[in-house]
Structure 1
Amino acid sequence: MKGSINKLLYRDALLCTLMTFIVAGLLYFAFVNLSILDPFEKAFKDFKFTDMYYSERFNETQRNNKIVLVNIKHADRFQLAQAIEKIVEQKPKVIGLDIIFKERKLEFTDSILKNVLLSNNDNIVSAYFHDEDSIVNSDDYFKTENQIKGYINLNLNGQNTVIRDFIGVKGDNVKEFAFATRLALASGYIDEAYALKELRNSIPINYIGNKDVFLNFDIDEISNLNEIPALKDAVVILGYLGDGNEQFDIEDKHFTPLNKDWVGRAVPDTYGVTIHANILNMLSKQNLIYRVSTVGTYLIAFVFCFFIIVMGLKLYKRSNFMFDFTEKIIQLLLSVLLLYLALLLLQSNIFINIVPVILLSLLSIEMVCYYEYLVKYLNKKFKWKSHLL
């Protein structure tokens, strides 16, 4: 007798879980396709619960002193040439230029900069970026033989406002490497085989913090100091880090999970060069985050829903009043528990999009009541047996 009851219970739980997914699918279809809900869809697309982890993560133990940032501000090409020469004298591992010299300017300063780039060709990683179907490079005047270049695009898919992911290698016949990938290769942190194996697909960026977790200098400091021991054997990246008014300066600035505002982000929080530094830090330690696939996420959600519904059906059968009384409490505790589980997994470098799991789990509890109406109808029509009847 007990075995047959359990059999009915598990069958009901399976059917109620399927019902939950069908209803969720219909709601999602309506949510995506109704134009009146577009603002809400975009808001949810730019929000991830796991952003909390990064926005509160900074601590001194995360600091990486072997990646050094140099703020070029709005320096002219003569100042840039001087700074690069000074950096080269300190014997860094690699110099990265998150800068594109799109056109010629003054002949004299251009020639000085070109000579500096030519004489240190094997130690400099230059940048380019994709602009829709075209590629934007520095002017050919600054091109050097065997030039090492990487694309600086941080949002290749062009869909998300918040920079959470990174694609390190793209293309099949002609392989292109990201700027941070090139820096990691040139500095010996990874080899090409590792890059081709691990960095072809989109992976979450393992942020350790904003620019304060890296040593950083202004270009004026670099030019005025005789010796800078911190640059020896470091990867030095030159890029824009603001020009005195960071609160309102959004030049080459992006939204990232480091933003203190999890929703309703108004002002970009992180400069592009800092994002490259975070990616390089991740690659230097080969500390990649494994992303649970979409299929895996929904399988996990299905399992959670099934067992939640099993418990819900047992409680509902025992007492309708107790079920109604505890339903919201269970939903609240379940949300907190699942979110905490997602953050624990992220600490172990496993990223799961927990939102579908939470929403489906919450919906599954609501579906228990509606499932009773369904089985009553089936029982009346087809003599359907159920744990609830």
Structure 2
Amino acid sequence: MDESKKHDVRLLPLIVVVVLLALSGWLLEKLTERLPAELIRINELAVADIDLSDAAYQINQEWNQTKKSVILVNTGSLDQGNFRLELCQLISNLQSYNPRAIGLDIVFEERKDPLIDLELGALLKNNNIVLAREDSASIFKDDKPSRLFGASDFPITKGETVRKYYYSNIVGDDTIPTPSFASVLHNVASREPVNPEAGHFMLRYYTRGRGFYDVLEDTGKRTPLDSMFPAIEGAALIQDSLQVEALKTLLKDATIIVGHLGSPYMSNPNDIRDKQRVPTDTILSNRLPVMPGAVIHANALTMLEQKDHILDTEGFGWKIIAWILVFFFILLGKYMEAHIKEQWQFPIKCIIKPVLLIVLMFLIIWLMEVGIHLRTGQFLLCIALWEIFAEPLTVLHEELKRLLSKCQKSLKAAKKKNRLFLRILSVLNYKII
């Protein structure tokens, strides 16, 4: 076999490894593009919908002990056939308790009964009422100033966990941002100016599970420091209630959010209308939608009232810091593995990686508690890719070293045969090295 064929045979393992790596990367990219959203996608597992900082919501109990000053009212218990008529009565009754502000997490997209719409429009003109806005304009946009409309959508794509909330957002065909629903409601309730900042902020979440309880049913069993917001059935407020005094105490000077919590009653576990996935859920992936949008607005409003803030680490600089932290833990693990005695290799290798992962998780949780959200999707992706490709890359490195060593030996052998051939190989060897 001539020399050129021998070199071809030697290069074959290297070519195979490179082709396999390229093919794996291509398949991974295509797989993340084509898997349906209902499944646990690789990009969700690695980057998008799993975040190590979610563990902070499970561990930190102090957030849940924040005083809940927002009252929820369930529209799901109203007669859906006469919804707007009963909503008129509900708003009128709520106003009789003199609340500070009422937010309607309801979008009115089309007109129905002209007389009822006229009555509803007259009630909505009150300056302590805030209306929700989505892509389409409200039919009551001419009855209220634009400053009393708030954008009620969340900064997510469909099916994602809601971890953020808008300060303000471009709605529909608008050219200027509309303040978020909670921002406008906070402005009306506290008379503080709306934050003009565009973009979003990280949600703290002061509640668990669905995030509310029926305050009329659980009287005396809960406190304002409970991990859920107090809620009232809308149907109970339009009927002659025997708990008028309790309602007066609860609703006077309160901030109220009226929205859908469940139908025909708020505790219906099978109603998923307007429910969202939230990081307080103990399930880490493929979460169920459990928390109503009205409760998420209530959490955001509580953050604004408490002047609570979490720094969301965006931008190239923070990405560099995140990657440095990732590689520090990876290299620390490799260093520890390389400097242990041979008889302890197996047990220590089994311990090192879990321990380092736990340390990393507690570091991220601690940062979240002090108000810094470090994006951690890349942690999982990087660690996973390292575990997948570390061994092939080691094999590739050894194969390159072997090939270079053989090339050097071939050069030494050729030195005795042909000086011209030696010079050519020397140049080639210099280029290879």
Q: TM-score range by the shorter chain?
A: 0.7 to 0.9
The two structures, once aligned, show a CA RMSD in angstroms of 3.5
Q: Which residue of 2 aligns with 1:20?
A: none
1:326-356 CA deviation, whole Å, 9 max, x = no partner?
Answer: 2232111111111121112111121112242
Q: Which residue of 2 aligns with 1:133?
A: none
Q: Which runs of 5+ in 2 are unaligned?
A: 1-19, 214-227, 409-433
Q: For residue 202 of structure 2, what is the amino acid of its counterpart? A: P
1:240 aligns with 2:243: no
Q: For residue 204 of structure 1, what is the amino acid of its counterpart? A: M
The verdict on how the C-alpha distance between 1:369 and 1:333 changes in structure 2, with shifts beyond 3 A counting, is farther
Mapped to 2, the partners of 1:290 and 1:25 lie a distance apart of 38
1:290 aligns with 2:340: no
The verdict on how the C-alpha distance between 1:62 and 1:314 changes in structure 2, with shifts beyond 3 A counting, is closer
Mapped to 2, the partners of 1:302 and 1:246 lie a distance apart of 47
Mapped to 2, the partners of 1:117 and 1:347 lie a distance apart of 40
Q: Pick the aligned partner of 2:292 from 263, 266, 271.
A: 271
Mapped to 1, the partners of 2:91 and 2:21 lie a distance apart of 56
Alignment of 1:29-40 (within 5 A): 30-34=27-31, 38=35, 39=39, 40=41
Mapped to 1, the partners of 2:21 and 2:175 lie a distance apart of 41
Mapped to 1, the partners of 2:276 and 2:154 lie a distance apart of 9
Q: Answer yes or no: is the 8 Å Cα contact 1:309–1:364 preserved in 2.
A: no
The verdict on how the C-alpha distance between 1:326 and 1:349 changes in structure 2, with shifts beyond 3 A counting, is same
Q: Which residue of 2 aligns with 1:329?
A: 351
Alignment of 1:69-88 (within 5 A): 69-73=72-76, 74-75=78-79, 76-88=83-95
Aligned residues: 347
Q: Answer yes or no: is the 8 Å Cα contact 1:189–1:284 preserved in 2.
A: no
Mapped to 1, the partners of 2:313 and 2:150 lie a distance apart of 28
Q: Pick the aligned partner of 1:68 from 67, 71, 82.
A: 71
Q: For residue 308 of structure 2, what is the amino acid of its counterpart? A: N
Q: Which residue of 2 aligns with 1:191?
A: 193
Q: Answer yes or no: is the 8 Å Cα contact 1:46–1:160 preserved in 2.
A: no
Q: For residue 211 of structure 1, what is the amino acid of its counterpart? A: F
Q: For residue 312 of structure 1, what is the amino acid of its counterpart? A: K
Q: Which residue of 2 aligns with 1:139?
A: 139
Q: Which residue of 1 aligns with 2:371?
A: 349
Mapped to 2, the partners of 1:37 and 1:326 lie a distance apart of 40
Q: Which residue of 1 aligns with 2:177?
A: 175
SS at the partner of 1:167? strand
Normalised to the residue count of structure 1, the TM-score between the two structures is 0.76
Identity of aligned residues (%): 22
How far 1:167 moved relative to its partner? 1.8
How far 1:214 moved relative to its partner? 1.5
Q: Which residue of 2 aligns with 1:214?
A: 229
Mapped to 2, the partners of 1:298 and 1:308 lie a distance apart of 15
How far 1:294 moved relative to its partner? 5.7
SS at the partner of 2:110? coil
Q: For residue 203 of structure 1, what is the amino acid of its counterpart? A: F
How far 1:259 moved relative to its partner? 2.5
The verdict on how the C-alpha distance between 1:43 and 1:217 changes in structure 2, with shifts beyond 3 A counting, is same
1:103 aligns with 2:110: yes
The verdict on how the C-alpha distance between 1:306 and 1:234 changes in structure 2, with shifts beyond 3 A counting, is same
Mapped to 1, the partners of 2:106 and 2:271 lie a distance apart of 18
1:240-299 CA deviation, whole Å, 9 max, x = no partner?
Answer: 11123621101111111132322232x410111111111111111121211223642443
The verdict on how the C-alpha distance between 1:152 and 1:125 changes in structure 2, with shifts beyond 3 A counting, is same
How far 1:113 moved relative to its partner? 1.9
SS at the partner of 1:236? strand
Q: Pick the aligned partner of 1:261 from 283, 290, 299.
A: 283
Q: For residue 31 of structure 2, what is the amino acid of its counterpart? A: L
How far 1:70 moved relative to its partner? 0.8
The verdict on how the C-alpha distance between 1:372 and 1:282 changes in structure 2, with shifts beyond 3 A counting, is same
The verdict on how the C-alpha distance between 1:318 and 1:48 changes in structure 2, with shifts beyond 3 A counting, is closer
Q: Which residue of 1 aligns with 2:225?
A: none
Q: Answer yes or no: is the 8 Å Cα contact 1:190–1:284 preserved in 2.
A: no
Q: Which runs of 5+ in 1 are unaligned?
A: 1-22, 131-135, 384-389
Q: For residue 288 of structure 1, what is the amino acid of its counterpart? A: H
Q: Which residue of 2 aligns with 1:152?
A: 152
Q: For residue 235 of structure 2, what is the amino acid of its counterpart? A: D
Q: For residue 207 of structure 1, what is the amino acid of its counterpart? A: Y
Q: Which residue of 1 aligns with 2:251?
A: 231
